[in-house]
């Protein structure tokens, strides 16, 4: 099926009813190549030459019961990558190796961060959960200096020859929620499986 895939429909991505709270605004489809995958000490894992289709969405969400005008609780960027020749499995294996070999690094703005493998989200054919932790900052981006930290998470799920790669970040200087990340990873896997199943059925 993947040999015939040239694009990813909106329906393959997380939908407003999938967020662990309530959607803030509407999901936005981003331009191709506007958000590169994260770098882990420059270790190659992306298998770009085997990608048949890729697309990216962004959505924001609030906590359950939050006022409509309140600031978001979290921001999610979701990439879907469809691979040729069973390269999705190699992508996930190489991603795990890249993270495990890069326990600490400077991020794109020169801040020291720690990378940790946090197990799986128990969804799809296989998955990995990654945490990136840094010293906490205030609303102006200045270090708090109190020993506290803030985290963002990546939930990466494989379904067949496709990958759902979720970046889950807290709003501004807050940490992302680990439980939300796992829930989003599970629901992203379900959406991906539904799309791939319906696409395969259409070809029969």
The predicted-structure confidence for 106-145, as pLDDT tens digits, reads as follows 988 788 999 999 999 999 999 999 999 998 776 656 666 6
Residues recorded for the chain: 204
The 10s digit of each residue's pLDDT in 27-47 is 999 998 789 999 999 999 999
Output the pLDDT for position 53.
Answer: 95
Mean pLDDT across the chain, nearest whole number?
Answer: 91
- What is the reported pLDDT for 203? 40
Three-class secondary structure assignment of 118-154: CCCCCCCCEEEEEEEEEECECCCCCECCCCCEEEEEE
Burial of 61 (0-12, 13-18, 19+ CB in 10 A): buried
Domain 2-203 has CATH 3.10.129.10: no
pLDDT band at 21 (very low <50, low <70, confident <90, very high): very high
Encoded tokens for 25? 């605004």
Residue 199 above 70 pLDDT?
no
Alpha helices in the chain (DSSP H): 87-100, 178-203
pLDDT (tens digit, 9 = 90+) per residue, 170-183? 998 899 999 999 99
The residue ranges of every structural domain in the chain are: 2-203
In this prediction, what percent of the chain has a pLDDT beyond 70? 91
pLDDT at 141: 64
What does the pLDDT average to over 144-159? 88
Mean pLDDT over residues 152-167, rounded? 97
């Amino acid at each position: 099926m993947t040999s015939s895939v040239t694009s990813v429909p909106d329906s393959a991505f997380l939908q407003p009813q999938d967020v662990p709270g309530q959607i803030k605004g509407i999901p936005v489809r981003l331009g191709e190549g506007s958000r590169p995958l994260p770098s882990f000490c420059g270790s190659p894992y992306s298998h770009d030459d085997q990608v048949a289709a890729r697309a990216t969405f962004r959505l924001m969400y609030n906590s359950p019961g939050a006022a409509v005008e309140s600031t978001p609780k979290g921001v999610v960027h979701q990439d879907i990558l469809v691979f040729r020749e069973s390269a999705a499995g190699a992508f996930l294996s190489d991603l795990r190796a890249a993270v495990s070999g890069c326990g600490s690094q400077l991020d794109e703005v020169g801040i020291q961060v720690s990378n940790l493998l946090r197990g799986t989200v128990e969804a799809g054919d296989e998955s990995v959960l990654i945490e990136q932790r840094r010293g906490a900052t205030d609303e102006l981006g200045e270090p708090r200096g109190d020993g506290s930290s803030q985290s963002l998470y990546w939930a990466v799920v494989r379904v067949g020859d496709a990958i759902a790669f979720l970046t889950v970040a807290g709003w501004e200087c807050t940490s992302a929620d680990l439980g939300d990340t796992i829930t989003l990873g599970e629901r992203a896997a379900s959406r991906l499986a539904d799309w791939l199943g319906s696409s395969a059925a259409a070809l029969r």
